[in-house]
């Protein structure tokens, strides 16, 4: 049913797009119609696949690194009082600097290769993961903590066996957000300076007035973002089977 609805929406949007191009008679190099984009997608499949592979690896490595670093930071913040006092302001201030403004610097430091894009993706993923998990760790049901204390649990044991599992749904929300923003980080990095990747391909196509190819690359990127979100969501739901369904499903519908 949900798939059906999505298909209907897609069909309506494509028709409207086609009608707009047909009615206004916009030239192909300003706004290509859906058929032209489909044609470009098919003609350049090999090229697109090659560049998509670069972008996808940047996204996946960035996601893994960002989630790992974010998780470690949140645990540190939640378990060491001193860390919270010193690092929390730093973390908040660091978010005041737009990460995208750092992209040229990262390219300068880490080069035109994948490293600067991975760093970029990691940076945009790090903050939502850290704050989501840290919030989750701070909001443990107080009764559980009382129970653990009367049972003679150490702080580390309470963290590992109670606070961390209880915060996993919060971490899952953070990872879902991260999965949605990860492609943005990678593409911005590619725009600033690179020799491959979908972002690079888009810039290149734009400069040569191949707007249909630009749209085709955009389409692949969009498909990645949706697939990544869906995969993350499915994976997280499988990892947290004890979570009531209303939590997992209602966000999507």
Partner 1 sequence: MHARVLPAGVPAPVSVTIASARLTYGGAPLFEDLSLRLEPAAVTCLLGPSGVGKTTLLRLIAGLTDLEPPTTVTAGDGLPLAGRVAYMAQQDLLLPWLSVLDNVLLGAKLRGERRSPALVDEAHGLLERVGLPGRAGDRPAALSGGQRQRVALARTLVERRPVVLMDEPFSALDAITRLRLQELAAELLAGRTVLLVTHDPLEALRIGHFVHVMSGGPAVVGAALEPPGVPPRAPDDAAVLAMQGELLRRLAG
Is 82 a binding residue for partner 1 by CB under 8 A? The answer is no
Is 153 a binding residue for partner 1 by CB under 8 A? The answer is yes
Exactly one of 165, 222, 223, 226 binds partner 1 (CB under 8 A); that residue is 165
Is 147 a binding residue for partner 1 by CB under 8 A? The answer is yes
Min. distance of Cβ 166 from partner 1 in angstroms? Answer: 8
Is 140 a binding residue for partner 1 by CB under 8 A? The answer is no
Check if the beta carbon of residue 199 is closer than 8 Å to that of residue 189: yes
Exactly one of 36, 148, 211, 216 binds partner 1 (CB under 8 A); that residue is 148
Specify burial of residue 234 (Cβ count, 10 A radius: 0-12, 13-18, 19+). exposed
Q: Which is nearer to partner 1, 7 or 141 (CB)?
A: 141
Is 242 a binding residue for partner 1 by CB under 8 A? The answer is yes
Residue spans of alpha helices (H) in the chain: 2-24, 34-43, 45-79, 81-96, 103-110, 114-138, 142-150, 155-158, 164-192, 198-207, 211-239, 245-250
Min. distance of Cβ 68 from partner 1 in angstroms? Answer: 22
| Structural tokens at position 190 | 């590619």
Q: Which is nearer to partner 1, 35 or 147 (CB)?
A: 147
Is 46 a binding residue for partner 1 by CB under 8 A? The answer is no
Contact segment (CB under 8 A) with partner 1 among 14-22, 60-68, 109-117, 139-147 equals 139-147
Min. distance of Cβ 145 from partner 1 in angstroms? Answer: 9
Say how many Å lie between the first and final Cα of the chain, rounded: 11
Q: What is the dihedral of CA 5, 232, 45, 39, to 10 degrees?
A: 20
Exactly one of 1, 4, 23, 151 binds partner 1 (CB under 8 A); that residue is 151
Is 149 a binding residue for partner 1 by CB under 8 A? The answer is yes
Is 155 a binding residue for partner 1 by CB under 8 A? The answer is no
Is 143 a binding residue for partner 1 by CB under 8 A? The answer is yes
Which residues in 46-66 are b (16+ Cβ under 10 Å) and which e? eebeebbebbbebbebbbebb
Total residues contacting partner 1 by CB under 8 A comes to 22
Is 238 a binding residue for partner 1 by CB under 8 A? The answer is no
CA distances from 104 to 26, 116, 194, 199 (A): 35, 9, 11, 15
Q: Which is nearer to partner 1, 107 or 171 (CB)?
A: 171
Within 10 Å of residue 40's Cβ, how many Cβ atoms?
Answer: 22
Q: Which is nearer to partner 1, 153 or 248 (CB)?
A: 153
Q: Kindly report the CA angle at 150 between 146 and 156, in degrees rounded to 5?
A: 75
Residues in contact with partner 1 by CB under 8 A are: 141, 143-144, 146-153, 157-158, 161-162, 165-166, 168, 240, 242-244
């Amino acid at each position: 049913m949900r798939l059906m609805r999505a298909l209907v929406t897609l069909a309506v949007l494509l028709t409207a797009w086609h009608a707009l191009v047909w009615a206004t008679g916009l030239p192909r190099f300003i706004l290509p119609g859906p058929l032209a984009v489909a044609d470009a997608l098919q003609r350049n499949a090999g090229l697109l696949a090659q560049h998509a592979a670069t972008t996808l690896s940047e996204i996946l490595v960035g996601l893994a690194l960002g989630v790992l670093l974010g998780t470690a930071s949140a645990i540190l913040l939640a378990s060491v009082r001193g860390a919270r006092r010193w690092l929390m302001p730093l973390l908040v201030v660091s978010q005041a600097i737009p990460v995208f403004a750092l992209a040229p610097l990262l390219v300068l430091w880490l080069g035109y290769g994948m490293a600067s894009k991975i760093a970029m993706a990691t940076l945009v993923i790090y903050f939502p993961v850290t704050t989501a998990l840290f919030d989750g760790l701070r909001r443990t049901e107080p009764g559980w903590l009382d129970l653990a204390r009367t049972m003679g649990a150490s702080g580390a044991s309470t963290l590992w066996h109670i606070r961390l599992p209880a915060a996993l749904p919060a971490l899952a929300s953070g990872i879902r957000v991260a999965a949605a923003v990860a492609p943005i980080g990678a593409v911005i990095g590619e725009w600033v300076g690179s020799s491959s990747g979908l972002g690079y391909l888009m810039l290149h196509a734009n400069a040569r007035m191949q707007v249909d190819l630009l749209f085709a690359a955009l389409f692949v990127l969009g498909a990645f973002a949706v697939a990544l979100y869906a995969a993350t969501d499915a994976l997280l739901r499988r990892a947290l089977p004890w979570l009531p369904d209303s939590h997992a499903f209602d966000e999507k519908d």
